[in-house]
Structures are given as C-alpha cells and as structure tokens.
Amino acid sequence: MQEDLTERKQKALDFLNSHLNAKLITALNSCVHCGLCGTSCQYYIALKEEKYMPAAKVDLVAGIYRRYHTFAGKVFPKLTGTHELDDETIDKMVDTLFGACTMCGRCVAHCSVGVDIPFVVRTGRMMLQQMGLVPKSIQSTVDAALNTGNNMAISKQDFIDTITWLNDDLQYEVNDDNATIPLNQSGVKMLYTVNPREPKFFPLSISAIAKVFYLAKESWTLSTDYYDITNYAYFVGDEEGARVITERLVNEAIKYGADTIILGECGHGSRAMRWEGPNWMKEKYPVKTITAVELLAQYIRDGRIKPDKTKITDLVTIHDPCNLVRNGGVIEEQRYIVNACCSNFVEMNPNREDNFCCGGGGGQLAMSEYNERRMKIGKIKADQIRATGAKIVVTPCHNCVDQLNSINLEYKLGVTIKTIAEIVADAL
C-alpha cells in the first residue's frame, strides 16, 4: 500500500515535470508573498485564515516545484520554504485546492504581480488526480458524465420523456400544435446543449429557451446521446476526461450537420468548451460555438424576437458567472438582454469581471463535504444582492442558479433567481 502511494506521488511529480511550460513556470515562480491577494478572495474575506489566502494556495504547488526543480530547493530546502510531496502536503492540497477555491480568478487581476492563481490551483488538482485523490463526490460526477454521457446519469428514456412533456408544454405556451423541441434532428443549423440540472430539476428553463427558439424560427436540435454542456473533468484536473467530454459534443454537432454548438447557460461548461476544449483536442473545432447569452442578444439586436420590457417591472440585478464573464469575455451581452427585457435594472457592486463568485464554482456544488464553507463564503454574494434591493436575480449559469437558490434560503433574501432564457421568455 505504502509502495503504491509512493508510486502515485512519483506519478504526480512526473506529471508536474511534464507540464512545465512557459505559462506554468511563470506562474510557479512569480508569487512574491506580498499577501495582498487575500482581500480579493472570498474564502479569505469570509473565513479569515491564512491558509485561504490565494498566495498560500499557490505556495502549496510552487513549494513542491521549488523542492524538486530548483537548485536552492534541492540543496537548501528550508531556505525557499519548499514542500516535500508528503502526506501532510497532500492533505493540505486536497483541503485548500479542492475545498477552498472556486477557481473564480478574481484574485488574478488584483494580484500585485498577475500570477494565474486558478491555473496553479488546477495544476495542483491535476497532481491530486494523478494520485487518485480527487474528492469522491466530484469524481462520481465526472464518472457519471464519462460513463453515461451526462453528469447526473439521466437515462436516455428519462430525458426523452422529459422533453416530450416539455414539448406539450411548449405547444400550449405558444398555442401552436406544430411547435416542437427537436430531438436528434439532422440537417439543422445548431446543436443546443444543456446543463443536466435542467432536465432533472429545472425543466422550465428548457421550455423557456425552446419558446425563444420557436419565436426566432431557429433551426436547432437537442441530442439524446450527448447534450451535457458541463465538464467537471476540467475542475478535477482530468484532461483526458475533459477532452472526451468536449469531443463528444463536437462529434454530435457534426453528426447532425450543425455548424454551431450553442453553449447552454453554464459558466464553466461554456468556458471549457469555448476556451479550453480546443487545447484538449489540440486542434481548432470544425464547428463554431456561441453561448446562449450571445445568441439571445443577437436575436434581440436582429429583431428576431421582440421582448416587451413592460412585462417585467420588478427590480432586476445580474449575477456575473466567473467562467462566463471574467474568464470568458461575455460581459455586456447579458446587460443588453436584461435592459431589453426588464424596465428596472440595477447593477451589483462590484460587477462584470470584478464580480464575486457566487461560491458554487470550481466544482464546489458537487463537493458536499465542503458545503458549510460554501455557504459561509456565499454571504458575500448575499450581501451584494441585498444591497441592490432587487427582487429578481438573473444569471446565465445553472450552477450559479443552484448556489444562489441556496444562499437565498440561507440568508433569507426573498429574491427569485432566473436564467437569461427564462427572463427573455417571460418578456415575450
């Protein structure tokens, strides 16, 4: 058993060694331990412990790098505060890299140097993944996605049944017996993807987007095999798993002749598919990708749908999902949509790329062992929402919706959480 662990540690060190490119070398050598990043991290702000400072998280991985890859670290390990990859270090890595970081990246732009902290955290997670030390809860989510095609292991029949029911709902909603939610339809322009939470818990968000597509006369389809936009393999540092999940969606689009994949309202899924996926596949996609938010904004600009902003008069605010906004560049589109659909809109402060994470990112929602921490850091978001006085919080990410619903209950905010598609559908 001990020998097995030693082998696994060596595997992790070999992994680190093989991934030392310019980007990682830079990130591992740049932190100067100024400690100013703490005030940009919600874990440190909420929990006030040194171990939650972004620099401390970076140092866990950088310390291992220094120990095994620098002259000073090899000869004078104490001088530069190196870390042996021993059980104590590993325990700390699991606890803070998985359990105390949403990889939101808020610390990065505010870092005095500009260290890509989430990138280092992800590298640490990759090393843990190499050692088979990913928390079981999130690993089971990844396994479900890889084994069944979606992270909630929804059976094909259950998915079809749900969509069939939603189809009836759509026909009633738009008063057209020919309205459909297309399944496995070839020759369409776009393949739509969803977060499995939608068919499982929030089917009305699929109804909402279907209504929008119907009114915009979009040529689209859902696939019953691979529709899951989420990619938790990205969060656990399983690059091969992440590649498989990405490739499936690309192949599915090709199979149905779609030239575009619509990235459903999921922050990390959109980021993984749009920005990371091509690098896992080591090639440019043969199809285009567009986020649902960008597409809906385009519909409104082009006049393909005409929302009536007088239908929504409650004060509305936007929560910016980190992976879509700060890490994905979709910043103004959701504001354009909400302003077109709602008569009263107020910004959260801070907002856009400076926004705080809801607390559910980085796979936190899938790691029940850290629920208590997740709810504590959620207070920052709760305070932000409360300060706006809004009655409706709109966010283009189903993971954020889940976390916002949780903090809505925990901190008694009394708000309604909606996705972008839902707010658009409400205004049509």
Partner 1 sequence: MTIFHWLLIAALVFCFVSCLRWFLKLIKQPKDYADPKGSVADGVTFSCTKAMLPTHKESAYLHLPTYIAGIIYHIGTFTSIILLLLQLIFTNFMLPYTGNCEMGDGTSCFIFSSNWTFVVYLRLFFAVALAVSSLCGVAILIKRFTNKELKALSNIDDYLSNIFVTLFQMFSAIVMVAPYSTWTQPALFIMGTILFIYMPLGKLRHVIYFLSARYQLGAFYGKRGVWSMKNKKH
Smallest separation (angstroms) from partner 1 to the CB of 350: 9
**Shortest approach of partner 1 to residue 54 CB, angstroms?**
10
Q: Which is nearer to partner 1, 19 or 189 (CB)?
A: 19
Nearer to partner 1, 62 or 394 (CB): 62
Cβ(365)–Cβ(135) under 8 Å? no
Contact in structure between 113 and 31 (CB atoms under 8 Å)? yes
> Cβ 405 to partner 1, closest distance in Å?
27
Using omega within 30 degrees of 0 as the cis cutoff, is the peptide bond preceding 182 cis? no
Closest CB to partner 1 among 50 and 158? 50
Amino acid at 426: D
Interface residues with partner 1 (CB under 8 A) are 21-23, 25-27, 29-30, 32-40, 50, 53, 55-56, 59, 70-72, 78-81, 108-116, 274-279, 281-284, 325-329, 331, 352-353
Q: How far is the CB of 7 from partner 1 (least distance, A)?
A: 28
Q: Are 54 and 119 in contact (CB under 8 A)?
A: no
Smaller CB distance to partner 1: residue 41 or 375? 41
> Parallel, antiparallel, or unpaired: how do β-strands 315-318 and 392-394 relate?
parallel
Residue 217 or 284: which CB sits closer to partner 1? 284
Q: Please tell me the distance from the alpha carbon of residue 155 to that of residue 122, in angstroms, as a whole number.
A: 31
Spell out the long-range contacts of 272-276 with Cβ–Cβ below 8 A and sequence spacing 24 or more.
Answer: 272/231, 272/234, 272/242, 272/245, 272/246, 273/193, 273/229, 273/231, 273/246, 273/249, 274/328, 275/327, 275/328, 276/234, 276/242, 276/246
Query: Minimum distance between the CB of residue 108 and partner 1, rounded to whole angstroms?
Result: 7
**Residue 24: closest CA among 121, 110, 130, 91:** 121
From the list 301, 397, 292, 379, the residue with the least C-alpha distance to 340 is 301
Q: Which residue in this structure is represented by tokens 């992800």?
A: 122
Report, in Å, the least distance between residue 334 CB and partner 1. Answer: 14
Nearer to partner 1 by Cβ, of 111 and 138: the residue is 111
The nearest distance, CB 99 to partner 1, in angstroms, is: 18
Question: Is the Cβ of residue 21 or residue 175 nearer to partner 1 in the bound state?
Answer: 21
